[in-house]
Amino acid sequence: MKSIAIDGPSGSGKSTIARIVAKKLKFIHVDTGAIYRAVALHMLESGIATSNREAVAGELCNITLDIKHKGAAQRIFLNGRDVSRDIRTSEVSKATAEVSAYPEVREFLLGLQRQMAEKYNVIMDGRDIGTIVLPNADLKIFLTASAEARAKRRHNQLIRTGVNISLEQVIEEIKQRDYIDSNRDIAPLKAADDAKLIDTSNDELNKSVGRILAIVKKAIA
C-alpha cells in the first residue's frame, strides 16, 4: 500500500487539500484530527474535564471509534453514532488541544491510524503523521501558512457551518493551539526531516491542490 503523510498546524488546509488529492488519486483520506476531536467530544458529553489527564485516560475504555468512507470522504462514528458534524465546534477544538497532548490518548489512537495505512492506499493528515504515525511513508509533506491566513480560512469555514464567532477569536485560538501543539512533550508538531515544506499563505485552494498533486504524482509514479 502507498502512504502519504501531510502534517501541519491548525488551519493550514491540510485536511481539505488531502481530501481533494485523495479523491483525484482514488486513495483513502484519513483525517486524524477528526479522530482526536471525537475523543474530545466524548469527554465533553460525558462530563469529563479535559484538563484532568487521569480522568481522560480512565474514560478511554468506554470509547469505540470507527472510520467509514464514502468514496474518499471520511465519516467518524463514536460509539456507533456519526459525529462528523458535531466534532467541528469551537468548544471541541479547545478540548481537542488538551486531550491530544496526553500520551494515553495518542497511544489509544495510534493503532487505528496505522491499521488504515496497512489496508488502503492512504493520504493521512495530522500533526505527527510523518514523525510518529507513519515514519516510513512514501511521501511526507509539511504544510504551513501564517496564523492570520489560517484564521481567515477557519473563520470562513465556521461561518459556512453556522458557527457565530469573530475573526479575532479564531486568530487567538489558532495561536493558542499552535503553542500547545508545538510545545507538548509527546509528539510535538514539527516537520519530519525528510518532509517537503510548502507554505500556502498566499495560495488559493486550487493552486495549493495543484502544487501538492504534482509532488504526489511524481513521488508515487
Tens digits of per-residue pLDDT, 28-59? 899 999 999 999 999 999 999 999 999 999 99
Q: Is residue 148 part of a domain?
A: yes
| 28 domain-assigned | yes
Domain residues for 53?
3-211
218 falls within a domain: no
Could you count the other beta carbons within 10 Å of the beta carbon of residue 221?
5
Res 71 pLDDT > 80 = no
Nearest Cα to Cα of residue 123 among 12, 26, 201, 13: 26
Report pLDDT for 125: 94
The grid coordinates of residue 90 equal 469551537
For residue 196, the cross-strand partners are 141
For residue 221, tell me if it sits in a domain. no
129-138: pLDDT as tens digits: 999 999 999 9
**Is the full-model pTM beyond 0.75?**
yes
Q: How far apart are CA 50 and CA 4, in angstroms?
A: 31
Confidence grade of residue 109 (pLDDT, cut at 50, 70, 90): very high
Indicate which CATH number applies to the domain containing 202. Answer: 3.40.50.300
CA distances from residue 186 to 56, 57, 99, 175, 195 in whole angstroms, order as listed:
16, 15, 12, 19, 20
Residue 131 in any domain: the answer is yes
Instruction: Tell me how many domains the chain contains.
Output: 1
* Residue 217 in domain: no
Give 177's pLDDT tier (boundaries 50, 70, 90).
confident
Residue 57 lies in a domain: yes
Q: What is the DSSP string of 141-195?
A: EEEE--HHHHHHHHHHHHHHTT----HHHHHHHHHHHHHHHHH-SSS-S---TTP
pLDDT at residue 72 greater than cutoff 70: no
* Alpha-carbon distance values, 136 to 14, 71, 108 (Å): 19, 25, 20
